[in-house]
Amino acid sequence: MILQHLGHSLRTKAWPILCLSKRTSSITSPAIQRTLFTSSVLCRKAVIKREEYFLKKDNIPAGFSIIYRAPMENYLTTCNIVTSFSFLAIGGICAFTYLKDFHHIVVPFEIEYATLTANETDLLYFLGFFFLINAVIRVMVNRYPLRIYRNDKQYIAVFEGQIPLVTKQFSFQQGEVTPVPPGGVLPWQESRYKINDKKVLLLEDYFRTPSELNAMMMTEKLDSE
């Protein structure tokens, strides 16, 4: 009798709690769904707005959509500016040395070499190494596409231009992209490709979908099959 009374009492107290939990779950579930749907819509709008920004920035014709966007664009722009001014500085020094006999210039103070150089030969070695590093950076900048757009089988790649803060475009067709065997001293050996005769660096993780890179390399024969 006592046990039946305790069981009835527990059921009486537990029933409102179960009803409240069911009511809470039924209320929370649609709210979560609405939140997820709203977040998805906002993300989609942000992606579309970002793509429209790059299409306008790169002056891409209508019908193209972005399929590749490389990272480190700001670093690449900085490297382009630094190397451009470095080449200008070295070219100016060489021109000045050629036009004026540097060893016979009389200056009102004594020229001291940097602490890393002991004489003129070391200074020339240092300048040569500095020039080589700048040349390697410049090669990487020229081979690094910032963005790639596609319209059916037509592609447009956007690179850093020879002039800082100016981009250049390179058009190609589907099937004109081929992988390059590893070699040389440049990094990203597994990401080296060739578009016709132009060597480029393509990072697979930054394509819109993994299949976009394979579609670029697909020839017309394989596509027709």
Q: Is 225 helix (H, G, I), strand (E, B) or coil?
A: coil
Residue 96 shares a structural domain with residue 169: yes
Residue 38 shares a structural domain with residue 105: no
Kindly report, residue by residue over 109-118, the tens digit of the pLDDT.
455 545 545 5
Kindly report, residue by residue over 2-18, the tens digit of the pLDDT.
444 434 454 554 445 44
Q: List helix spans (H) across 58-160.
A: 73-99, 120-142
Q: How many structural domains is the chain composed of?
A: 2
Domain that holds residue 202: 63-225
Kindly report, residue by residue over 20-71, the tens digit of the pLDDT.
444 444 444 555 555 545 556 657 777 788 889 999 999 999 999 999 999 9
Residue 159 shares a structural domain with residue 110: yes
Residue 155 shares a structural domain with residue 177: yes
Taking the C-alpha atoms of residue 144 and residue 160, their distance in angstroms, rounded to an integer, is: 8
Res 12: pLDDT: 52
Residue 77 shares a structural domain with residue 132: yes
Residue 216 shares a structural domain with residue 117: yes
**Sheet-wide strand order for 198-201:** 177-179, 192-195, 198-201
Residue 26 shares a structural domain with residue 114: no
Residue 32 shares a structural domain with residue 138: no
